[in-house]
Structure 1
């Protein structure tokens, strides 16, 4: 079970629902260290004064806010803490909106909300009410000493707390040029029907297990090969760059591409097949690679 981030409550009107908050996502990027390629010595991080070029000790560094070009107000950590919103550990629901009314671009980070301290009944009541009315709750919540806008969304047997971006954080899209309708773009009814058929033929149930971070797996495989080969710097030939597909420039080209796409799907394979999962024990582990590297004297 994911660790509990905090215990608090969902609050709307006079209703108080005891809940626990759990992380619902994890970031798994590739972390690379900087080293001197001549000696493999690690390269440290130095804080440099951009004017003098000299290194600055940590005790002489503070935060500052640039209120005008080149003009700063210095802020001590204690001042920033006093300015922060006090953590109430309450998901304070302010309104309910239709579940399709909030665009995806506003959604940021998900968390699991679980019932706590005999709050199962009222928790279930809120979840089922949201499902029956096809609504989600908009709320305010303080996480990590910062206030967030959030949405409480039913998902199966759980409620999800999804932090939202503030309105000023979402870039206005009115300046981006794109046809507003199919007619404005010159799309014909026949082309639209073929595109819909192609989508139907390629459709399958959502299974996140079918998808993997191929970049991470390829880099881990590369590290594995280098470890097995000793401290060699020889790398197998580079893969050819992916072929860029030109966008169709006419109705005839678009229709031909749609037809070719439909023909390319054999009748027996019209439904998308699951991507083969990596057999157990085959997926390389970064930590195990590091251990083997140390064992070989790297």
Structure 2
């Protein structure tokens, strides 16, 4: 079945404009559940509750607020948001072309296929082929929902795909993650690790080999429940043990230690957290009404400039 486009846009750089259509690259198939009332089996509904007034609040009685301090809010109106939104353009502005190998995959977010719109096939193919020949990908901005979205255009199997990207200040540094200090390994340990990697290596990634085994088990369990059958629990996994990394590598490779091998000191341990005493729960504090700064003025909404006819 042919894919349906989710949106229209145009790739723009210099004096060139290429109309394109956007298509999703994935189709989620996760199993979802509903919350039911145990007493009667009816699906329950969520309500908004005010903890101060102890009453149910309708959507029409709510307002948007930004917390700038502990339980201190300022009201943000639709007019305030409209004042900072960009004019909707549906245009993908290419800012620069960069070598593909210089882009860290850590910055990539969601992905869309880009296909040519009517009459744009030639220009679309010309751009995709030029990027492929030169080993370049395009960095650009896409005005979506009044916001600037950083995007990456990449040639893919004769066409183009668009990656939405995170900004640099949104991506954490690995330096923030605790790392082991300087570790020295013996030549035998390094050789065993290399052998293990080599043993599990293949020529290329084949995604069709992998499937969601949890979802398959869950689907089978649901079908059994619907049919009135019992679901048996799987056997428990053995508890983690303190192991020697050198011996674990040998076992992974199927190699048995020889009598001449001397026992090495443990280089890696799987530690199990021991129980700790529960901290004394703090005394409940008296709930007070949060402070909210109401909007005292209306931001003048700027009308978008009318486009001049060609």
Scaled by the length of structure 1, the TM-score of the pair is: 0.75
| SS of residue paired to 2:48 | coil
State whether residues 224 and 231 of structure 2, in contact with CA within 8 Å, keep that contact through their aligned partners in structure 1: no
1:257 equivalent in alignment to 2:255: no
Counterpart of 2:77? 76
Instruction: Kindly indicate whether residue 202 of structure 2 is the aligned counterpart of residue 211 of structure 1.
Output: no
Conservation of the 8 A alpha-carbon contact between 1:138 and 1:150 = yes
Per-residue CA deviation, residues 211-269 of structure 1 (Å, 9 max, x unaligned), is 2222222222111101111xx7xx43322344465586xxxx333333332238xxxxx
CA deviation vs aligned residue, 1:138-197 (integer Å, no higher than 9, x gap): 1111234432111111121221100001222212321212258xxx32234544444333
Unaligned runs of 5+ in 2: 256-310
Structure of larger gyration radius: 2
**Offset at 1:10?**
1.0
For 1:26, what is the secondary structure of its paired residue? coil
Once the two structures are superposed, residues 267-298 of structure 1 have per-residue CA deviations (whole angstroms, 9 ceiling, x without a partner) of xxxxxxxxxxxxxxxxxxxxxxxxxxxxxxxx
- Are the equivalent residues in 1 in contact too, given 2:86–2:146 (CA < 8 A)? yes
Q: 2:232 aligns with which of 228, 233, 237?
A: 237
CA distance in 1, matches of 2:242, 2:86: 50
Alpha carbons of structure 1 residues 236 and 163: separation in structure 2 relative to 1, 3 Å: same
User: Larger relative contact order (C-alpha < 8 A, sep ≥ 6)?
Assistant: 2
CA distance in 2, matches of 1:3, 1:202: 39
Q: Give the structure 2 partner of residue 271 of structure 1.
A: none
Q: Does residue 1:228 correspond to 2:227, yes or no?
A: yes
- Assess if the C-alpha contact under 8 Å between 1:93 and 1:139 holds in 2: yes
TM-score (norm 2): 0.73
Give the match for residue 152 of structure 2: 151
Residues 91 and 43 (structure 1 numbering): CA distance in 2 closer, same or farther, change over 3 Å?
same
Q: Does residue 34 of structure 2 align to residue 33 of structure 1? A: yes
- Hey, what's the Cα distance between the residues in 1 that align with 2:242 and 2:147? 44
- Cα 1:70/1:131, change in 2 over 3 Å: same
RMSD after superposition: 2.4
Aligned equivalents of 1:2, 1:82: Cα separation in 2: 36
Q: Is the 8 A contact 1:94 1:137 kept in 2?
A: yes
Change (3 A) 1:257 1:149: same
Runs of 5+ in structure 1 lacking a partner? 265-298
